[in-house]
Structure 1
């Protein structure tokens, strides 16, 4: 429960909002981007290290929740004046790039473009993690699994692109 407290305080409504917004956004984006594209995806050659399809919603729900909690912690720290107020637009940028990737890769079949976009996404996530860590070490730490997963996804995107050129 200490993970949910910032400066000894707990704000359940803002925690729920912070966690649910990226999860719901990711779910809606995934549903729209993947609608009618799964048959094409099933026909693609995939690398041997490609996880089973059921792993993706579990991983993404967890990661979206963790990044939402991290953002909540940063916002609360700034609200309490524990750090100089700074605007951290990298969070919103990385979230937008994250959502865009699904359209590029699945909906529009632009796997090479998706690969380049994901490279920018990974850099933006790293910047967000750095900025979060400067405000709240726990928030920065919560972002590290996201970096790992996107680095893995970048490798998976690259391998899939190469196998299906």
Structure 2
């Protein structure tokens, strides 16, 4: 098996694992979706329509899963550590924000997520540049999500 085909296989496995984790955890922990509570919140003008989240997140999970797969077998344990940490924080945010209805704690989680994802991306660049580039749309989205979380917290107390 060539290095290129090993990379493809690792990226595909990463996509499957992250997609199942990301989409599955949210479905298990939030079976009713975001619920009436979220709909009742005052949201900032920059809040995108709800349907957009259902389009964006599967794409992002594919990208970050592929990125994780590309760096997984490398000997750079720091890249893996930060990748796993940011993924855990990602999976924690929805249950905290929507499930516990804690906008304030969600803000802390998403701030930590942004920091961990940036460090993960920098560490991943040292292993595989492509892996780091695959993380860029995710970094942009979670930075935007952090701004939304902050504004919702400010508007709703």
TM-score normalised by length of structure 1: 0.85
CA contact (8 A) 2:93 2:110 kept: yes
Shift of 1:132: 0.6
Segments of 4+ moved more than 6 angstroms: none
Change in Cα spacing, 1:152 to 1:41, as seen in structure 2 (3 Å) is same
Indicate yes or no: 2:41 matched with 1:44: yes
- Indicate the structure with greater helix content: 2
Shift of 1:7: 4.1
Unpaired runs of 5+ residues, structure 2, are none
Shift of 1:14: 3.4
Q: CA RMSD in A?
A: 1.7
Aligned to 1:75: 72
Q: Secondary structure at the match of 1:49?
A: coil
Q: Deviations over 1:93-120 (max 9, x none)?
A: 1111101000110000110111011111
- Which moved further from structure 2: 10-19 or 52-61? 10-19
| Structural mapping, 1:26-41, within 5 Å | 26-36=22-32, 37-41=34-38
CA contact (8 A) 1:29 1:102 kept: no
Unpaired runs of 5+ residues, structure 1, are 1-5, 79-84
Aligned to 1:62: 59
Q: Secondary structure at the match of 2:50?
A: coil
Q: Distance in 1 between matches of 2:29 and 2:156?
A: 20
| Structural mapping, 1:7-156, within 5 Å | 7-10=3-6, 13-36=9-32, 37-75=34-72, 78=74, 85-87=75-77, 88-156=80-148
TM-score normalised by length of structure 2: 0.90
Q: Tell which structure's C-alpha radius of gyration is larger.
A: 1
Aligned length: 153
